[in-house]
Amino acid sequence: MFKSLKKRGYYFIIDAFIGSTIVFLSLLIILNGGIKPAKIQYNYEMAEEYGSFILTTKMEDLRTHPYVNGLIANHVINDTSLSIMEEVDMLYYYNNLPDATGLIQNLTEPLIPQKYGFSYSIIDGANTTIVYNRTTININDSTMVIASKKITFLQLNSSTMFGPAMTEIKIWI
């Protein structure tokens, strides 16, 4: 009698312990699946982060960059307090698209992996101007396109202002 009681007790406890362990492990496995951001979210974050970099980084912080330094030396960039986005706006406004393209290209190459397609456009009213377009992958063949838009504007002097317009950054894979 004692023996059977003892066995039943042990079985009961071990069973409970195993049960709770299984529940915990199951929870961990299920919830751990959510730690890794979905691919679409990762790409979207990359586009947004790149947008923030362009929006907030000032030209004076990029003086050591050879291409930027060259533009400063050639007086293409005269106001280094402008952010990258503002400088591109300025070049766009004064129809200097080649230098705007060069600037975005040189700053983007090390930041966005080659496996991604990339484009930087300015949407000014009804006009859309593609400043830079990296077509390592054709956008029509891509499985996913992520677009990040930011409002852009620039006071050019006391009486003139560019914008508000939209800067659209597209990343695709």
Task: Please report, as ranges, the residues that interact with other proteins according to CB under 8 A.
Answer: 1-2, 5-6, 9, 12-14, 16-17, 20-21, 24, 28, 31-32, 34-35, 37-38, 41, 44-45, 48, 52, 55, 123, 149-151, 153, 155, 158-161, 163-166
Closer Cβ to other proteins, 20 or 114, answer by number: 20
Query: Quick one: tokens of 61?
Result: 């912080």
Give me the sign of the Cα torsion angle 86, 92, 98, 101.
Answer: positive
**CB neighbour class for 117 (10 Å; exposed up to 12, middle 13-18, buried from 19):** buried
One-letter amino acid at 114 equals Q
Q: What is the CA radius of gyration of the chain?
A: 27
Closer Cβ to other proteins, 112 or 123, answer by number: 123
Give the shortest CB-15-to-other proteins separation in angstroms. 11
Give me the sign of the Cα torsion angle 124, 135, 146, 110.
Answer: negative
Give the shortest CB-150-to-other proteins separation in angstroms. 7
Give the shortest CB-81-to-other proteins separation in angstroms. 13
Give the shortest CB-173-to-other proteins separation in angstroms. 18
In whole angstroms, what is the distance from residue 124 CA to residue 157 CA? 19
Closer Cβ to other proteins, 51 or 102, answer by number: 51
Closer Cβ to other proteins, 18 or 109, answer by number: 18
Neighbours of 139 (CB within 10 A): 13
Cβ distance 91 to 82 under 8 Å? no
Closer Cβ to other proteins, 52 or 78, answer by number: 52
Give the shortest CB-4-to-other proteins separation in angstroms. 11
